[in-house]
Amino acid sequence: MTGIDRYAVIGNPVAHSKSPEIHAWFALQTRQNLQYERLLAPLDGFAAIVRNFISQGGRGANVTVPFKLEAHALANVLTERARAAGAVNTLKFEADVIEGDNTDGIGLVTDIVKNAGVPIAGKKVLLLGAGGAARGVVVPLLLEKPAELVIANRTQSRAIELVRQFSNTEGNFHASDFAALASPFDIVINATSASLSADMPDIPGAVFGRNTLAYDMMYGKQATVFMQFAAQCGAVTRDGLGMLVEQAAESFLFWRGVRPDTAAVLAQLRQSL
């Protein structure tokens, strides 16, 4: 593979990942010479897979479930947003340096503000879930200066723990459990894994108003159960395909120093689902 820079997405499972197609389109558009592949890592073998990939000339990797915390631990240099998130979804390899970044949050914010045309500033925002997906987007959401950010989880103690992790971050944010949610929000973001199993977070329909943007980080050919429920409550819905493309563009910029145009790639990807 002389002359071709190698990149990969590492996860378990990973066969479903659209990242190779996305980065192939980005490379074509920006005239970058690279190869991008999928790497399935054993659940107890993430670091070994990364080091083997580096030894074979790997220049960088995207990291998906369930390895984002391990990627954070493996990196010996962290960007500011990776430090803030406490999780890494993008690695860059140069000499002995493994640099970790987190592009999930900026990907979400860009898709909501730019692609969906919905400002976050001054809005009431509800973030459902307190796992890795939620943790990666808290700071970028707060940087948009919402009027209020409520982090809600089925087990409230986990939401409280997440709020504590960001106690030094400016903004009006607090924890809640699902049962305490009783009024509409401007934006509701589903960062739980419920949609992976065609399930629904146990939240009341009262969180959705007529102009609420109901955003599911998951995506598919059909609307998720969360999106269907939100639509029945009168909300406008959007899935996470745009977030996927936007975070990938940020990764590409991190690796290659050029940010691809995402609109055409998002349209192509939507068509291919």
Q: Is residue 17 a known part of a binding site? A: yes
Annotated catalytic residue 145: no
**Marked catalytic residue, from 68, 92, 123, 124:** 68
Rounded distance, CA 180 to CA 262, Å?
38
Q: Is residue 123 a known part of a binding site? A: no
Q: Is residue 89 a known part of a binding site? A: yes
Q: Is residue 219 a known part of a binding site? A: yes
- Cβ–Cβ under 8 Å, residues 248 and 22: yes
Q: Is residue 130 a known part of a binding site? A: yes
Rounded distance, CA 4 to CA 257, Å?
16
- Cβ–Cβ under 8 Å, residues 54 and 48: no
Q: Is residue 197 a known part of a binding site? A: no
Q: Is residue 80 a known part of a binding site? A: yes
Q: Is residue 36 a known part of a binding site? A: no
Q: Is residue 122 a known part of a binding site? A: no
Q: Tokens representing 213?
A: 């943007």
Q: Is residue 129 a known part of a binding site? A: yes
Q: Is residue 153 a known part of a binding site? A: yes
Q: Is residue 217 a known part of a binding site? A: yes
Q: Is residue 272 a known part of a binding site? A: no
Q: Is residue 221 a known part of a binding site? A: no
How many other C-beta atoms can be found within 10 angstroms of the C-beta atom of residue 259?
A: 13
* Residue 120 CB partners (closer than 8 Å, separation 6+): 109, 112, 113, 141, 144, 145, 146, 187
Residue ranges at the known binding site for NADP(+): 80, 129-133, 153-158, 217, 240
Residue positions forming the annotated binding site for shikimate:
17-19, 64, 89, 104, 219, 247
- Residue ranges of the binding site: 17-19, 64, 80, 89, 104, 129-133, 153-158, 217, 219, 240, 247
Catalytic center residues? 68
